[in-house]
Amino acid sequence: MSQSHTGPAYEKQMVSLGRVLQTLRDAQTGDEAVRVALDHVRSEFDFEVSWIGLYDRVNHKLLTKACHAPKGLRFIRTHLNLTPGDVMEQVVIQQRPLIVADFQNEPRGGEWVAIAKNLALQSGVLFPIRRQDVCFGILLLGSQRWGISPTTGERAHLSMLMNFLGDALYQHEAEAQRQQIKRPDQPLLTLLEKLGTLEGLDSRLRAVCQETQKFIKPSRTRIFWFEPKGNYFWLRSQPNQKQFVSNVDESATPTLMIPIEDVRGFHQSLTNNQLIVVGEIQSSLKATVTERMMQLLKACSFMAAPILYQGNLLGFVAVEGDTARIWSEPEKFFLQGVARLVALALPVSETDDRIRQMEANQRLTSGVVRGIHSDLDWRKALEVCATDLSSLLSVRQFIVLIFDEDWGGYELCFQSQVAQTKGVPMAWPGLDDVDWQMLERSTVAVCVEDIGHDLKLMAWRPILHTLGVRSVMACNVAPGNAPKGVVLVCDQISRHWTPLESSLLEAVSRQLGLLLHQWQLQRQMDQQEHVYDSIQWGLRTIQRTYDLEILEKNTIQHLAQLLQLSAVALVSWQPGEEVARVSQASVQDKEFWVDEDCEVSVGSDAILNWALQTDGILPLVLEDLPDISRHWVSGPTACKFLVMALRTAPDHRPTAVLVAVGRPERRWAEHHTNLLTLMTNQLAWSRRHLSLVAMLTTQREQLEQLNWYKQHRFEELYRLLYKHAQRLTELSQNDLESQPHQQALRELESLMDSMKPTLSREDWQLHGEYQTTPLISLLTRLMERVNGLIQQQQLWTKVHNESNLVIGGDIAKIELVLCELMGAACLRSQPGGRIDIWCRQVDRYWLELSITDDGEMTPRLIEELQKGRPDDPLAPSTLDEPPGLHFAICKTLMEQMGGEFNLSRLEDNRILSRVLLPIASPTGRQSHRGTVINKPFFHKPGH
């Protein structure tokens, strides 16, 4: 081994290394490169044994490629297995040089331990032969001496040499793999030139089979054609099998047919332009999909490439193997190429047929347009369209469906007479969400080849089965919009619908959409006219009817005739009542009945409560009703109800419910519900108007009678008082010294003078009169009036007043208001309770008088007194009866006089009655109201 890195010897070594590297680049084979590298190592390095082994990645072993050993010793091992953990495997995996001090005693030496003993080797050096991260083999340099180790320069020399050897081995391996790959480009070019010289589709298909057989060399090559009418594949072409194979299958005749329903997954993959590959360890489809196909072809391996033309599956090219086989990528590429060449080789005759068919389709669509714009009979236009379309597509059924939004299903609009099919239902169920969106988004017709194996249009499958339909095309008349109209063409056999047929149906459906739209517009106009007539009838009835019973009777009968209802009932009750009755009923069918004498509980009856809780019409069926509701209205099983409360405004409480009943097969259309809603609302407002007028008329009559009676009673009382006053005056002239007698007489005369304005001016209307009185006198008279109640309830009262103001206004009415409030406070207080009267001057115009007591009062009365009566005059209120009625009158009187009256509850639960009184003006006239302080002025008891 050399020891110096400089001098002539080193330069000579570098020159030798350069020559050998150039030789490695020019080596023709990998074996030659290995021999050149090993000869250079033997000549430049002093080792007894030099060995190169190439790495077999598949079997994980080293193959001996070249070896130099001492004379008399031979290296006879052609391969060495690598064991986990041995030094050779370590070099292969880590790809780094390794020095072995003693091969014969190395515990990780593997098979080289025995070889070292045979060759008398002691130490050695292992160098990897690698390129980038790929190890191609190992260089082993062995010596019969101990402790031999290459220098740094020698390591660099060997590393450079091995790297160049690795590059050379990589280039030769890549070239070998490239030469082994089949090149399908030249056979495809040859086939393309050959197809240009042939005439007729069958001759071209035979040429394709022959070239495919030559290139791929399968057991059989065949071309199957697709028949859409019968929905099956049939054998159309195959080469002369005897010149390629000897075991020809007898069943491989042109009459071989493969039904699509047996290989549906296989057919779907071909339609998606997918290459089908089935080999020994590879398959592009599941085993369950290809198993049936392999049974029909009687093959252990095969490939199939689809023949597609304008998106339409024409057939497929199949290569089959009687044994398991792995198909290479060039073979797959070639098969796909020939399938596309077949698609381009369609004869001109078929193109002419397609052109003629397209012209016929164009004539059909233009004829539909002419029929729409010129023929007033839309049904005749549909019949002409159905006849022509059925002839072109060879179908027997043509159906047009219109979506009915009222019940969510479809209505049979038209059925072709070509099919002569009986029993087609008029009502078709609604589509599920998936099918609805599919028809809405699809720009072409939706095709179902076999309804038994396709999940499309599931909701219509029972009807299609009943009609004997096997395959169907469905098209939305307005693609991109909701499928409000659907055209169906059906066939009794399993059938593949071509894109041309789909586009034809799509074009016809678009034209029919215009016709159906006009027809629907006419129906809507008829319905709107019907609604308009109902409105006119309702208005005339309201204007001419002044009796509530007659109004209800006429409306119920009109509804029954207008909507053709089996029964109609109106259940009504008075505000605040707990029991309702059937006020009006009309039964048109003997299977229905309404008990007009039955009492219906407003709080517990299901129909009434559901209607009152629903804003609008509530649809029900008989089975929804409990037994308690069936006692007063009922019908046959599954009969349908429409229930609606008679509402007028959100704040008005309904007092009636309308119940409409129909037969089980009855479908409520939108215009039916609109009419029912309109008539019910008209009836509700009319009933409310008549009820309110009747209530107000009754109240006025009662108040007029009461006022007449009290007025005449006051006149009689005044006459009697005047008569007795005259007699007392005559008697008093004889007893002039009786002061009490004179005082009583003056008070009686004052009382009579105060009654004169009431009798003369306020017989039918209140009139105000300005008077003044000291506040102390007003309070004294007030306490005198309620003293009896105070004594009776044993109440403790106290008046808190520090001023002597003069109150101005209608004193008589003010005294009555204060007396009413004080009396009510006494009556609601508990025995032994306390009542305080607080007086406070707000400003120079107004005095605040507050009464506090510890009595009880309903919160509703306080709330209604503050907010006013309910918006519904017919609704019960706490202000309709005393004490609420009296409080409301007091509040109105005080407001008319410019003052205020408020009733509220304090934080300590006392009741506060607050009155704002006017202070007398120095001019003697009623003062204008100044600033009002709403905060009450009072103190707690005992302060």
Q: Is 393 exposed, middle or buried (0-12, 13-18, 19+ CB in 10 A)?
A: buried
Band (587; pLDDT cuts 50, 70, 90): very high
Which tops the pLDDT comparison, 98 or 310?
A: 98
**Amino acid, res. 651:** D
Phi-psi region of 868 (alpha: psi -120 to 50; beta: other; left: phi over 0): left
Band (2; pLDDT cuts 50, 70, 90): very low
Given a contact cutoff of 8 angstroms between Cβ atoms, the answer to whether 804 and 767 are in contact is: no
Percent of the chain at pLDDT > 90 equals 20
Q: Which among 627, 666, 661 is positioned nearest to 644, based on CA atoms?
A: 661
Q: Please, where are the H alpha helices in 345-377?
A: 348-374
Phi-psi region of 200 (alpha: psi -120 to 50; beta: other; left: phi over 0): left
Rounded to an integer, what distance in angstroms lies between the CA atom of residue 718 and that of residue 712? 10
> Per residue in 877-901, pLDDT tens?
888 788 888 888 888 888 888 899 9
Given a contact cutoff of 8 angstroms between Cβ atoms, the answer to whether 634 and 622 are in contact is: yes
> What one-character-per-residue DSSP string does 12-61 give?
HHHHHHHHHHHHHHH-SSHHHHHHHHHHHHHHHS--SEEEEEEEETTTTE
Rounded to an integer, what distance in angstroms lies between the CA atom of residue 34 and that of residue 27? 9
Which tops the pLDDT comparison, 313 or 374?
A: 313
Given a contact cutoff of 8 angstroms between Cβ atoms, the answer to whether 411 and 426 are in contact is: yes
Out of 195-204, 208-217, 241-250, 711-720, give the one with best mean pLDDT.
208-217
> Tokens 């006020």 map to which residue?
583
Stretch 938-942: mean pLDDT? 38
- Residue 507, pLDDT score: 82
245, pLDDT greater than 60: no
Band (827; pLDDT cuts 50, 70, 90): very high
Radius of gyration of the chain from its Cα atoms, rounded to whole angstroms: 56
Q: Which among 527, 588, 596, 590 is positioned nearest to 558, based on CA atoms?
A: 588
Given a contact cutoff of 8 angstroms between Cβ atoms, the answer to whether 860 and 931 are in contact is: no
- Residue 107, pLDDT score: 83
Rounded to an integer, what distance in angstroms lies between the CA atom of residue 10 and that of residue 17? 10
Query: Measured between alpha carbons, how far is residue 844 from residues 733, 773, 789, 847, 921 in Å?
Result: 47, 16, 34, 8, 9
> What one-character-per-residue DSSP string does 398-436 give?
EEEEEEETTTTEEEEEEE-SSS------SEEPPPPHHHH
> Per residue in 144-163, pLDDT tens?
888 777 888 888 888 888 88
The H or E element that residue 685 is part of is helix 670-732
Where is average pLDDT lowest: 323-337, 354-368, 835-849? 354-368
Rounded to an integer, what distance in angstroms lies between the CA atom of residue 901 and that of residue 850? 10
Task: Report which DSSP code applies to 622.
Answer: G
Rounded to an integer, what distance in angstroms lies between the CA atom of residue 514 and that of residue 757? 83
Band (701; pLDDT cuts 50, 70, 90): low
- Residue 779, pLDDT score: 92
656, pLDDT greater than 90: yes
Band (310; pLDDT cuts 50, 70, 90): confident
- Residue 609, pLDDT score: 93
Band (826; pLDDT cuts 50, 70, 90): very high
597, pLDDT greater than 80: yes
The H or E element that residue 799 is part of is strand 796-800
- Residue 921, pLDDT score: 78
- Residue 253, pLDDT score: 41
Task: Report which DSSP code applies to 534.
Answer: H
- Residue 180, pLDDT score: 63
> Per residue in 404-419, pLDDT tens?
876 778 988 888 855 4
Rounded to an integer, what distance in angstroms lies between the CA atom of residue 658 and that of residue 643? 6
735, pLDDT greater than 80: no
Task: Report which DSSP code applies to 929.
Answer: P
Band (492; pLDDT cuts 50, 70, 90): confident
Which tops the pLDDT comparison, 768 or 807?
A: 807
Which tops the pLDDT comparison, 667 or 67?
A: 67
- Residue 940, pLDDT score: 36
- Residue 487, pLDDT score: 92
Q: What is the average pLDDT score of the chain?
A: 80
> Per residue in 445-455, pLDDT tens?
999 988 888 88
Query: Measured between alpha carbons, how far is residue 555 from residues 29, 340, 570, 641, 679 in Å?
Result: 109, 76, 10, 18, 8
Alpha carbon 166 to chain centroid distance?
A: 65
Rounded to an integer, what distance in angstroms lies between the CA atom of residue 883 and that of residue 853? 16
Q: How many residues does the chain have?
A: 943
> Per residue in 453-469, pLDDT tens?
888 999 999 999 888 88
- Residue 294, pLDDT score: 82
- Residue 670, pLDDT score: 78
Which tops the pLDDT comparison, 880 or 165?
A: 165
Stretch 294-320: mean pLDDT? 87
**Prior bond of 254 cis (ω within 30°):** no
User: What is the value of pTM for the model shown?
Assistant: 0.44
Where is average pLDDT lowest: 191-200, 294-303, 624-633? 191-200
Band (386; pLDDT cuts 50, 70, 90): confident
834, pLDDT greater than 70: yes
- Residue 241, pLDDT score: 43
- Residue 705, pLDDT score: 65
Out of 257-271, 702-716, 754-768, give the one with best mean pLDDT.
257-271
Stretch 529-542: mean pLDDT? 73
Stretch 270-293: mean pLDDT? 72
Q: Which among 630, 667, 639 is positioned nearest to 426, based on CA atoms?
A: 667
Tell me the backbone φ, ψ of residue 176, rounded to 5 degrees.
Answer: -65, -40
> Tokens 């028809």 map to which residue?
439
Cβ neighbours of residue 823 closer than 8 Å, sequence gap 6 or more: 785, 786, 789
Query: Measured between alpha carbons, how far is residue 284 from residues 224, 304, 305, 320 in Å?
Result: 20, 11, 12, 15
Core vs surface per residue 656-669: b (16+ CB within 10 A) or e: bbbbbbbbeebebb
Which tops the pLDDT comparison, 712 or 799?
A: 799
Band (939; pLDDT cuts 50, 70, 90): very low
Rounded to an integer, what distance in angstroms lies between the CA atom of residue 347 and that of residue 314? 13
